[in-house]
Structures are given as C-alpha cells and as structure tokens.
C-alpha cells in the first residue's frame, strides 16, 4: 500500500528511533533498511527539509529525529512522499464521481480511504518500535 520510497522512509525513521541519542550516517541507515545509500541520503535530506529529521555535518555527524517517536505519525512520514491526502479521485476513474453522483464503488471506496488515512494518522513511530 506504500510506495517503495515511502516504505524506505518509514524504515529509516524507525531505524533512527531505535537509537535516538545518536547521529546516524546515511550509509549505515541504508544498510540497516536495505536501501541504496545515495537514494536514501537524498530521502533523508528531504525529511530534514520537512522538519522530521535534523542533520549535522562533519565528524560524528549524521541524522536524528527532530521529534520524539511518539510525536511522529506514519502519516507524517508518508504524506510528503505519497501524497495520500490527495486520494480523492474516483476509484473507477470516472471524472463525475461525487456523493451526489457516485460511481458503483464510491460509497465503499470512501470508507476504505478514510480507514487507511486513519491508520496512518493513528500509528506512531513509537508503535512501530514496540513491534520491531
């Protein structure tokens, strides 16, 4: 349900949350989560720009969470990448689909979409740590 990039981002944030008091380098995180280092480095920098992470250059530098794991939702990590909040179009691709003029799947798709967003918004990185 998540793009590969969003999945790598979630795994990287969880890896950072496992060692919250350490700066961690992109290469080490990439190895732990099974992502290409250059690709993950760019993704981590994007998360710095979004305010999810902080970064420090130089000896002993690396990345850290900008907030505690219980303050970061999976939605916070996934939304800038997959833009799940914009999943408002018709499930069947019909342009005129709306509550007033629904397609055959509209009522069920609205429920699934709302449930998925609720799952992402209600799941915190700290919850994922407890399951790791």
Q: pLDDT (tens digit, 9 = 90+) per residue, 103-132?
A: 898 889 889 989 999 999 999 999 999 775
Mean pLDDT over 47-70 rounds to 94
CATH no. for residue 117?
1.10.10.10
Residue 39: domain span? 4-131
Mean pLDDT over 86-97 rounds to 79
Question: 5: which residues sit within 8 A by CB, 6+ positions away?
Answer: 43, 81, 82
In tens, the pLDDT along 28-50 reads 999 999 999 999 999 999 999 99
**Which tokens hold the place of 35?**
């992502």
Share of the chain above pLDDT 90, in %: 67
2-11, 75-84, 88-97, 119-128: segment of lowest average pLDDT: 88-97
Number of domains in the chain: 1
**CA distances in angstroms from 51 to 34, 93, 106, listed in the order given:** 24, 34, 35
């Amino acid at each position: 349900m998540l793009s590969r990039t969003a999945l790598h981002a979630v795994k990287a944030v969880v890896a950072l949350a496992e060692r919250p008091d350490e700066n961690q380098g992109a290469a080490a995180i990439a190895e732990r989560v099974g992502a290409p280092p250059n690709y993950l480095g760019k993704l981590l920098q994007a998360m710095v720009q979004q305010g999810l992470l902080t970064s420090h250059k130089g000896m002993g530098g690396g990345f850290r969470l900008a907030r505690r794991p219980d303050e970061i939702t999976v939605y916070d990590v996934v939304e800038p990448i997959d833009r799940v909040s914009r999943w408002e179009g018709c499930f069947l691709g019909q342009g005129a689909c709306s509550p007033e003029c629904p397609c055959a799947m509209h009522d069920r798709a609205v429920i699934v979409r709302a449930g998925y967003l609720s799952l992402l918004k209600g799941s915190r990185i700290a919850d994922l740590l407890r399951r790791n």
